[in-house]
Chain A
Amino acid sequence: MVSLNTAIVIKLEPDFSEGNVSYNSDGTLNRAETKSILGPHSAVASKAAFYSKVKYGARISVGTMGPPIADYALQQAQLICDADELHLYSDRIFAGADTLATAEVLKTGIGKMEGGKMDIVFSGHRASDGETGQTGPQTAWKLGYTFLGNVIDYDIDLEKRTVIAKRLITLQGFYDIIEEVEAPLPAFITVDPSYKPAFNTVSQRLAFVKYQKEANERAQSYKKYLKVFNAQQLGVDPKFVGLPGSPTIVYKVEKIPKAKASRKAEVVDASDRGQIAKVVTRIHEILGGIVIK
């Protein structure tokens, strides 16, 4: 019997690393020339879900909204988490969705996953192309699940049906805080980029290796696990998805103009050695060192 049902929502994103990414001359991303991969934060979310598989034998479904080629991201995620089911929500009318409209599709999709009601849903911290970090919490809210953000560690109490999680809170101008919380299932977790699963016994490590091997085999024939849904099959209202379901639009994109000068700089030519010596004297003065005459 499966004691824990989990889902992950992931995203296919451009590969921003050098040698793979390509930019247009106006500075925008050249999407045609840039390969797409499973987003790095989605990969972390997949790792977090895999922890549940190793430790609690959880069942895992992975869902994503995207073009047909986004099945590649699902395959990559399956390779990490040994998913039992892959969902692709793909329809032309989903295009151009903002976070609210995306959350609507994901919420509906998660409802269609085979495990039935989910105990935990994982998502990445944010996407590396959109970078809003809103889709996760908005999906959580639509699902009516308790939302836990920036999770760096978690464990499940299967008896009490609760999750105990550590969250990293960084607030500007304040110290960082690690907060430990307990929440009833179902919960929606966005995983902090610094998340690292800890498997502390030989048996857990052996299970880890076993599932990892299974993940390799499954990912090789990932299509067997893949279900593709269009808007109609999902049963979403077209008014709530894609552009019509998006409150926000991109009005314009422009180069950031030069800001006004806040300080007046004295310019020193590096080739003048004497000048540099003066700079160093200045540094000593500023830092309260002994003033040299």
Chain B
Amino acid sequence: MERFDVAIIGGGSAGLAALKQLSNLEKQAVLIDAGKTIGSKNVSGGILYSKKPKNGKVYNVEDVYEDGFVSDAPLERLITKYILHATSKDKIFSIDLTSAHKYQANFGYSVLLNKLNSWFAKEAAASAQKQGGGIIPGVHVKSITWQNDRTIVETDELDEFEVKAIIAADGVNSEIAEITGARNKFTTEELYQGVKVVVKLPEEIMEQRFEIGPNEGAAHLFAGDITLNHIGGGFVYTNRDTLSAGAVYHYDSLIQKPDEPYTLVNAILNNPMVKEFIKDEVAVKADIDKSLPKEEQLRTRFAVSKLVNTWDELRNVYYSPTGKAKLIESGKYKSETEIKSRIDSLSQELSDKYKAKFVTDYVELEYSAKLIPDGKRCRMKKPYYKNVLFVGDAAGRGIFVGPRIEGLNVGIDDAVRAANAVARSIDRNNFTHNYLGDYYTRFVEDSPYTRDMKEIDKDYLKTFLDATKDVPKDIVGSRYGMIFRLMSSGTLRGLAVGFANILGYDRLLPIVESVETYVQVPVEIAEKSGTRVSSTYTPTIPTIAQRIAKLKYDDDNLSHIKVLHPKSEFMKKMVTLCPTRCYSIENQDVMLQHEGCIECGTCAKETEWRHPRGEKGINFQYG
């Protein structure tokens, strides 16, 4: 049997950071991921932060990947503008929260996880190879067994192998947690459901529209009726040449009043401000004349497809400073004007010869969904089992404080701590739970991020309140009026926060995380002080079937989900709550069609839920 020092299960940002860190410490580690390529199973909102807390130390992404990170990694845009919009129909009241975004932060970049994790993987694999380790995509771990002091990993694809320790980074629906029994499945109170679409938008058009410089980015958050009265919030983030638009909803709120995730995301896209954000020029093909001979119809179809592709690609390049420069350098075009005239002649040919039209619309590239653990509620108190350490989402660790949602940086911090703990155990050849597991638990407990999952940070609160000082206080309901007044005074704030922290998040949350806070207050603010935003075009929003059709799957003919309670109330709600409509009711039983599954885990609570086997299942292109 082959033997390796460490197995890392799951190739998300946390698992990859663990691999890189172990390799930095000159330890041998093998990372196993079920996706066909690294990054293909990962989805995030997504902003990646680097933090510098006043008290304590966090391990940041640039500590792990060192100097090259900011200059080399495929980061989308440095977020320099962070704005919260309270919405009510077409009325919007905007609050600049850039100062809260910058609070104790080195930076926050918008990211697309497929691209970013591929880069992490490249870096981590290069280091790992030197230690005799590396990354193995396309392999699904199905069990871990202990025989005496040997830990054996079994997969669906490979011969079994032996390791000394395991870092489980297999995400919010961690199978390792499930098969080891390290923790219970998360409950609906402990989770948020995030839904996102990636929208195409050429670079320079975006920069002009969002009033940002070539390397800058904007984050726009939305609260109010835009969430269709659910606890949660919407977002639009600028990437390099795409936008990430979506929302997160408290899962419990969805269970109370189920709405289809795609209906929810459509509500975001239909908001007039968002509509104006995402719009672009789009070519629409004309119907092909059915009276033409078959071959001619086919020929026309293919000719139009080709022209539209060329037009679209060239136009993207034209609006991209680097793309343009490269194209001119290649000698294919002499100047910017020449590219422009080629684009014009293509659109001319399309409209004259093939009756194509050019309209204002938007182009959706990818639809995705994911569950997000609320670390305040569900972080593992002891994030290990035997010699298996849990990190990031798998350990239920993430920060959820008002508009502040952080997961990637938390996972990376955890990963470094887990890697350091494992390295220490390798050095002493001691993998007992008190030398490894308990040490790791204490180490994680020390993290400032854990503090943020346990108590309110009064300095953050002050920054937040200062930013919202222009919000008319009289509309902030009687219940909040007093709190606001309390919090606005330095001394009282200290007292109040101290008191709140004694009460603990557990008791505070039901009051703070309510429909009133998330919906009614913003709606009132928008109604009273908001300005009207208008948008005249109607976006062609794809149906869920069209969205699924656009996704790439390699279907596993063995279903990875088994329905356990086909008649339960929870499962009936899955018919509505599954983001890709995998469930239907036939003869009063809830039935599963797993082919469209994007592996979000929304249904995991009452199903036997596994990840698909290696290389199978969803293959996100953006993430």
CA distance A18 to B309 in the complex (A): 10
CA distance A199 to B138 in the complex (A): 11
Contact of B4 with A by CB under 8 A: yes
Contact A210/B134 with A25-B296, A201-B159, A202-B2 known, Cβ cut-off 8 Å = yes
Contact of B125 with A by CB under 8 A: yes
Interface contact B135-A209, CB-CB below 8 Å:
yes
Name the distance in Å between A193's Cβ and chain B's nearest Cβ: 16
Contact of B349 with A by CB under 8 A: no
Contact of B545 with A by CB under 8 A: no
- Chain B residues with CB under 8 Å of A213's CB are 125-126
* Chain B positions 128 through 147: 1 when the CB is less than 8 Å from some CB of chain A, otherwise 0: 01000111100100000000
Contact of B303 with A by CB under 8 A: yes
* Chain A positions 187 through 216: 1 when the CB is less than 8 Å from some CB of chain B, otherwise 0: 000000000000111110110011001000
Interface contact B295-A23, CB-CB below 8 Å:
yes
Query: Which of B135, B139, B302: most chain A CB closer than 10 A?
Result: B302
Interface contact A22-B158, CB-CB below 8 Å:
no
Interface contact B134-A20, CB-CB below 8 Å:
no
Contact of B528 with A by CB under 8 A: no
Interface contact B306-A19, CB-CB below 8 Å:
yes
Nearest residue (CB) in B for A209 is B134
Contact of A33 with B by CB under 8 A: yes
CA distance A23 to B293 in the complex (A): 14
- Chain A residues with CB under 8 Å of B309's CB are 19-20
Contact of B89 with A by CB under 8 A: no
Name the distance in Å between B391's Cβ and chain A's nearest Cβ: 21
Interface contact B161-A22, CB-CB below 8 Å:
no
Majority SS of interface residues in chain A?
loop
CA distance A213 to B135 in the complex (A): 12
* Chain B positions 1 through 14: 1 when the CB is less than 8 Å from some CB of chain A, otherwise 0: 01010000000000
Contact of B30 with A by CB under 8 A: yes
Nearest residue (CB) in B for A26 is B295
Interface contact B158-A200, CB-CB below 8 Å:
yes
Contact of A257 with B by CB under 8 A: no
- Chain B residues with CB under 8 Å of A210's CB are 129, 134
Interface contact B136-A18, CB-CB below 8 Å:
no
- Chain A residues with CB under 8 Å of B161's CB are 201-202
- Chain B residues with CB under 8 Å of A33's CB are 306
Interface contact A205-B299, CB-CB below 8 Å:
no
Instruction: Give the interface size bracket for B toward A.
Output: 20 to 34
Nearest residue (CB) in B for A210 is B129
Name the distance in Å between B28's Cβ and chain A's nearest Cβ: 11
Contact of A27 with B by CB under 8 A: yes
Other-chain contact of B158, A18, A19, A27, A205 (Cβ < 8 Å): A205
Interface contact A201-B158, CB-CB below 8 Å:
yes
CA distance A20 to B296 in the complex (A): 17
Interface contact A206-B30, CB-CB below 8 Å:
yes
Contact of B305 with A by CB under 8 A: yes
Name the distance in Å between B303's Cβ and chain A's nearest Cβ: 6
Interface contact B159-A25, CB-CB below 8 Å:
no
- Chain B residues with CB under 8 Å of A201's CB are 2, 158-159, 161
Interface contact A203-B2, CB-CB below 8 Å:
yes
Other-chain contact of A22, B30, B129, B303 (Cβ < 8 Å): B303
Name the distance in Å between A129's Cβ and chain B's nearest Cβ: 16
Tell me how many residues of A have a C-beta within 8 Å of chain B: 20
- Chain B residues with CB under 8 Å of A22's CB are 299, 302-303, 306
Nearest residue (CB) in A for B301 is A18
Interface contact B302-A21, CB-CB below 8 Å:
yes
- Chain B residues with CB under 8 Å of A24's CB are 299
Contact of B288 with A by CB under 8 A: no
Name the distance in Å between A180's Cβ and chain B's nearest Cβ: 22
Contact of B482 with A by CB under 8 A: no
Interface contact B125-A209, CB-CB below 8 Å:
yes
CA distance A33 to B299 in the complex (A): 12
Contact of B157 with A by CB under 8 A: yes
CA distance A33 to B125 in the complex (A): 40
- Chain A residues with CB under 8 Å of B157's CB are 200
Within 1-54 of A, Cβ neighbours of B (below 8 Å) are at: 18-25, 27, 33
Nearest residue (CB) in B for A199 is B158
Interface contact A205-B295, CB-CB below 8 Å:
no
Nearest residue (CB) in B for A27 is B295
- Chain A residues with CB under 8 Å of B308's CB are 19
CA distance A164 to B268 in the complex (A): 59
- Chain A residues with CB under 8 Å of B585's CB are none
- Chain B residues with CB under 8 Å of A205's CB are 134, 136, 139, 158
Name the distance in Å between B560's Cβ and chain A's nearest Cβ: 20
Other-chain contact of A202, B129, B136, B303 (Cβ < 8 Å): B136
CA distance A206 to B125 in the complex (A): 10
Within 16-41 of B, Cβ neighbours of A (below 8 Å) are at: 30
- Chain A residues with CB under 8 Å of B159's CB are 200-202
CA distance A64 to B509 in the complex (A): 68
Nearest residue (CB) in A for B153 is A202
* Chain B positions 265 through 305: 1 when the CB is less than 8 Å from some CB of chain A, otherwise 0: 00000000000000000000000000000011011011101
Interface contact B302-A18, CB-CB below 8 Å:
yes
CA distance A33 to B307 in the complex (A): 11
Name the distance in Å between A177's Cβ and chain B's nearest Cβ: 23
- Chain A residues with CB under 8 Å of B306's CB are 19-22, 33
Name the distance in Å between B254's Cβ and chain A's nearest Cβ: 39
* Chain A positions 218 through 243: 1 when the CB is less than 8 Å from some CB of chain B, otherwise 0: 00000000000000000000000000
Within 311-355 of B, Cβ neighbours of A (below 8 Å) are at: none
- Chain B residues with CB under 8 Å of A18's CB are 301-302, 305
Other-chain contact of B30, A21, A27, A202 (Cβ < 8 Å): A202
Name the distance in Å between A270's Cβ and chain B's nearest Cβ: 15
Name the distance in Å between A274's Cβ and chain B's nearest Cβ: 26
Name the distance in Å between A54's Cβ and chain B's nearest Cβ: 13
Query: Which of A33, A202, A203: most chain B CB closer than 10 A?
Result: A202
Nearest residue (CB) in B for A16 is B302
- Chain A residues with CB under 8 Å of B296's CB are 25
Interface contact A23-B299, CB-CB below 8 Å:
yes
CA distance A223 to B266 in the complex (A): 50
Name the distance in Å between A69's Cβ and chain B's nearest Cβ: 15
Query: Which of B139, B299, B308: most chain A CB closer than 10 A?
Result: B299
Name the distance in Å between A56's Cβ and chain B's nearest Cβ: 18
Name the distance in Å between B408's Cβ and chain A's nearest Cβ: 24
Within 149-205 of A, Cβ neighbours of B (below 8 Å) are at: 199-203, 205
Other-chain contact of A206, B126, B134, B295, B305 (Cβ < 8 Å): B134
Other-chain contact of A209, B136, B158, B301, B303 (Cβ < 8 Å): B136
Nearest residue (CB) in A for B296 is A25
Within 450-469 of B, Cβ neighbours of A (below 8 Å) are at: none
Name the distance in Å between A99's Cβ and chain B's nearest Cβ: 27
- Chain A residues with CB under 8 Å of B299's CB are 22-25, 27
- Chain A residues with CB under 8 Å of B126's CB are 213
* 20 additional A-B residue pairs with CB within 8 Å, beyond A33-B306, A205-B139, A210-B134: A19-B302, A19-B305, A19-B309, A21-B302, A21-B306, A23-B302, A24-B299, A25-B296, A27-B299, A200-B157, A200-B159, A201-B2, A201-B159, A202-B4, A202-B158, A205-B134, A205-B158, A210-B129, A213-B125, A213-B126
Q: What are 16 pairs between A and B in contact, CB < 8 Å? A: A19-B306, A22-B303, A25-B299, A200-B158, A200-B159, A201-B2, A201-B159, A201-B161, A202-B2, A202-B4, A202-B136, A205-B134, A205-B158, A206-B30, A206-B129, A213-B126
Which 5 residue pairs spanning A and B have beta carbons closest together?
Answer: A19-B305, A205-B136, A23-B299, A206-B134, A27-B295
Partner-A contacts on B (CB < 8 A): 2, 4, 30, 125-126, 129, 133-136, 139, 157-159, 161, 295-296, 298-299, 301-303, 305-306, 308-309
